[in-house]
Amino acid sequence: MRTVVLLLLPVVLIGSSIPLVNQEHCIGLFMTDRGPLLIAQEDDSKEILLMFLNETFEPLRIVRLAHVRPDRINDATMFDDKLILVGHSSSRPSQRSIYVCVIDLDGKVLKQKLLNFSGASTWAEALLLDEEGIYLAGGYNTLKKSWFDAFLLRLDWNFEVVWSRTTGGLSDDWFHRVKFIDSQLLCVGSTESKTKGKADVLIVLYDKKGRKIFETSFGGPDWDKAVDALEFNNRIFVLGWTNSYTPHRSGLLLEMSLGGRIIKEHLLDLGSDFSPAGIVAIENRLLVYGVVWNRETRFDPVMLVIDKDASLHNKNIIPLPNDQTVRGVVLWTGQILIYGESDNPVTGKDVYVLAFDIESIL
């Protein structure tokens, strides 16, 4: 296994923490005709917030969807000036069901549905869209056993189930992300039922009809999990984290052929706990983002720039007060925007957006 070690301090062009009364988690950041739109959910009230921001990412207007309160929204995407949100809510005590809704940019709910699977508890962590419908990835439990299977679901645009697929065994398995790879569906997550240790990275490729093309796993003697993936340079790159090869949590980047063969494993060891959150392609490189323990008091945002050969080109740590969580990255007009949550001693967590010049990061 190849280890890469890292350096550098980027300059924040614009940064905004948005203090609200309660504790929130970020769901997504989108660039609209009305300006940047940050979507969040209050953890206690379950209210969904549409926050329209100005050019310095301070709130201009906040729309509260007080009449829509699912237990948890995990992912969102934008299409035709509308938003689709997915997560889960309780259909009855101790049973979760996938929740999906479409809203317009004024906060009007155009369609919503709780997907009840008889005798099963389900949740969605991620979604994809195309002209044929909606793909949701997460977990599925029949309630007759104490563990989850990894779950992939296709809906039509009326939110009717076209097909569903599960994979698993005698312990917990789940999908954390689903991505298009050459018009096919790559699902990544974690498996505790097909593991060499406590949990392994789980990678499954399906076609759009739900037929499995390949399934593989990777891991060591401890905990390993995949959080994101993409196609780049005629390869599949799967990003995750591992406790199997260092005394602290490190990043893990698997380089695979399009046919599913693992070619190389790259250990992203930052010398202290590193939790990757996602990966994007930028120009001819990869950008890995997440948080790293500063070895003193907090987790700071970090961005790693990876060359085509998977070697480290640059490391950028952003020192900020208090603990930070990074939820996502948006590339926009020569800038890299990162968003997430920042610990607030009064409310618990606030949401934030930071902007960087792309060239300063690369």
Half-sphere exposure of 141 (CA within 13 A, CB side): 19
Looking only at the bridges linking them, the beta strands covering 82-92 and 72-79 are antiparallel
All residues at 6 or more sequence positions from 69 whose CB lies less than 8 Å from its CB, including other chains: 45, 46, 47, 48
Name the phi and psi angles at 11, rounded to 5.
-100, 125
What kind and span of H or E run contains 358?
helix 358-361
DSSP of 182-231: TTEEEEEEEESSS-SSSBEEEEEEE-TTS-EEEEEEE--SSBEEEEEEEE
Closest to 47 (Cα-Cα) out of 20, 78, 84? 20
DSSP code at position 359: H
Distances (CA, A) of 9 to 98, 233, 304, 335: 41, 28, 12, 16
Distances (CA, A) of 284 to 240, 307, 313: 21, 7, 12
Task: Using only the alpha carbons of the chain, give its radius of gyration.
Answer: 20
What are the 10-residue block averages of pLDDT along the chain, 362 residues in total? 37 61 89 94 93 91 90 96 95 86 95 91 95 95 84 97 93 96 96 91 97 96 97 96 96 97 96 97 95 88 93 90 92 92 79 89 82
CATH entry 3.30.1360.200 includes domain 2-361: no
Q: What is the pLDDT of residue 11?
A: 46
Q: Residue 344: beta bridge partners?
A: 348
Closest to 334 (Cα-Cα) out of 317, 356, 306? 356
Answer for the pair 215, 262: CB distance below 8 angstroms, yes or no.
Answer: no
Q: What is the pLDDT of residue 75?
A: 98
Residue 144's Cβ-count burial label (10 Å; 0-12, 13-18, 19+) is exposed
Looking only at the bridges linking them, the beta strands covering 2-4 and 262-268 are parallel
